[in-house]
Amino acid sequence: MPKAKVLVIDDEKLVRWSLEQKLSRDGYEVECAASGEEGLDLLRQDGHDVVLLDMRLPGMDGVRVLQEIKKLDREVAVIVVTADTGVARAVECMRLGAHNYLCKPFEFDEVRVELEKAIEEMKLRREVTRLRSQQHRTFDVNNLVGNSPAMQAVRDLVTKIAQSNAATVFIGGENGTGKELAARAIHFDSTRANQPLMDINCSAVSENLFESELFGHERGAFTDAKTAKKGLMELADGGTLLLDEIGDMKLSMQAKLLRVMETRQFRRVGGTKDISVDVRMISMTNKDIEAAVARGEFRQDLYYRLKVISVRMPALREHPADTVLLAQHFLQRFTREFNKPLKRLSPESEDALRRYRWPGNVRELRNTIERIVLLEADEVVLPKHLPPEIQSGMQLGGRTAAELPAEGVKLEDVERDLVRQAVERAGGNQTQAAQLLGIERDALRRRLQKFNLIP
């Protein structure tokens, strides 16, 4: 297999022949063109890794050819060959995307060195493009799986936020509901997708280190600061900063974060210069921030600043109709990831998954399916493959056994919850919802009115 595919565009026949002979001996696959037009045709037909481009060509000149090459393939490395030793021409070529330039006459060893450098740069560039493409697929908004009205509303809102210029976004919801997935979808579906995405867990970093992690520090700012360091805020410039578990942020840091959000400027620890950044800040928490504000644990002004645009991720029990769809999604994902035969859910397993309350939400469902794919060999997922807590709901002929809490419960609340679940499971179809509850449609409608559940 050749090291790389090289295209030589030069109007001097001797130069083309010499480069083709020597590069072929070095293990490269080489094609040659005597003009820019011919070279562009070869590039369109076959694709190349590196182009050695002479600046003085008949017809289309080298600068124009360079521009057209970059339109065809931005990742191809172009080494400009020129007899002009002027700095201005070289600077212009580099600005247009050339990897480097060589001055005629040149030694072949110079070509060999520049070629190796260009190929390494090209490989890195293509790997970055591949990884970005993979991230786009992994965190695309369509990975927020669900056909329920609740999840459709979340996807619509996330898409609108991603396409907007919103600089501040707040995402709330219980643990395991997909807050981080929504945050990453906002980043990767936006114009910031090719810029950095940095994240920090506000509960995992000590108060002493938090300011340095977020804003960076200057050399000598504290005992161990032997060199200057950029913080996450500075590294995320042009992109997105995820502030996870922001409800656990200390009050002292809340004041500093509020200033940054208002001015889009900050100073490194020990610094005297203001640094300006263009960062979209997405805050996430599973805590009730309003209650924290009432207790004096969270600044009210920061809360209002954070919540300019907010997304609430629904708990899985609020859209149970999506449970089976999510389970099938994870079955496909993990069987592919672990190279296992594709599995399917039995009707009984589907029913058990729908009935379970999922206190750990989508994360708990994902972990359940991952375990089944790894440990169970059967092609069909049966109830016996499910965890005991899910199987325990399959009692009394398929009906969930209701256990009265020690502190008691209001029967009206239970009835309201069952009516809501039936309507959600039936996808809003009142006739089907009534059948699930074993009552007439008119009786269901009276209860919907009573509990104010009619859309």
Residues 39-67: tens digit of each pLDDT: 999 999 888 899 999 988 888 888 899 99
Confidence of residue 404 (pLDDT cuts 50, 70, 90): low
Amino acid identity at 287? K
361: helix, coil or strand? helix
Burial class (CB in 10 A: 0-12, 13-18, 19+), 221: middle
Q: How confident is the model at residue 398 (pLDDT cuts 50, 70, 90)?
A: very low
pLDDT for the residue 396: 39
The DSSP symbol for 3 reads S
* Residue 393: predicted pLDDT: 60
Pairing of strands 100-103, 168-172: unpaired
Find out whether the peptide bond into 105 is cis, omega within 30 degrees of 0.
Answer: yes
Q: Which pLDDT band holds residue 406 (cuts at 50, 70, 90)?
A: low
> Cα separation of 452 and 455, whole Å?
8
The domains located in the chain, with CATH, are 5-134 (3.40.50.2300), 141-312 (3.40.50.300), 316-391 (1.10.8.60), 411-450 (1.10.10)
pLDDT of residue 208: 78
Q: For 220, left (φ over 0), alpha (ψ -120 to 50), or beta?
A: left
Mean pLDDT lowest among 248-252, 317-321, 413-417: 413-417
Specify the 3-state DSSP secondary structure of 425. Answer: helix
Reported as a single tens digit per residue, the pLDDT across 278-306 is 999 999 999 999 999 999 999 999 999 99
Instruction: Give the tokens for residue 219.
Output: 């050399």
Extract the tokens encoding 385.
């493959």
Q: What is the mean pLDDT of residues 16-33?
A: 92
CA distance linking residue 455 with residue 429, whole number of Å:
12
* Other Cβ atoms closer than 10 A to 403: 7
Positive or negative: CA dihedral 58, 59, 61, 66? negative
Cβ atoms 140, 159 nearer than 8 A: no
* Closest C-alpha to 171, from 309, 24, 17: 309
Q: What is the DSSP letter of 81?
A: E
363 pLDDT exceeds 60? Answer: yes
The mean per-residue pLDDT over the stretch 140-167 comes to 94
Q: How far is CA 203 from CA 199, 251, 318, in A?
A: 12, 13, 28
Kindly write down the DSSP assignment for every residue of 316-335, as one continuous string: GGGSGGGHHHHHHHHHHHHH
With a CB cutoff of 8 Å and minimum separation 6, the contacts of 345 are 324, 327, 328, 331, 353, 380, 381
Question: 373 φ, ψ to 5°?
Answer: -65, -40
What pLDDT shows up at residue 401? 47
3-state SS class at 403 = coil
Sign for the CA dihedral angle at 314, 317, 318, 320 comes to positive
What is the per-residue pLDDT for 86? Answer: 60
- Residue-averaged pLDDT of the chain: 88
DSSP states of 259-303: HHHHHSEE--BT--S-EE---EEEEEESS-HHHHHHTTSS-HHHH
Q: What is the mean pLDDT of residues 123-151?
A: 85
- Whether the Cβ atoms of residue 68 and residue 24 lie closer than 8 Å to each other: no
Residue 224 — very low, low, confident or very high, per pLDDT cuts 50/70/90? Answer: confident
Q: Whole-angstrom Cα distance, residue 47 to residue 267?
A: 47
* pTM attached to this predicted model: 0.70
Tokens of 306: 């954070």
| Of residues 159, 146, 186, 156, the one with CA closest to residue 315 | 146
Three-state DSSP at 422 gives: helix
Burial class (CB in 10 A: 0-12, 13-18, 19+), 170: buried
What is the C-alpha separation between 102 and 106, in angstroms, rounded? Answer: 7
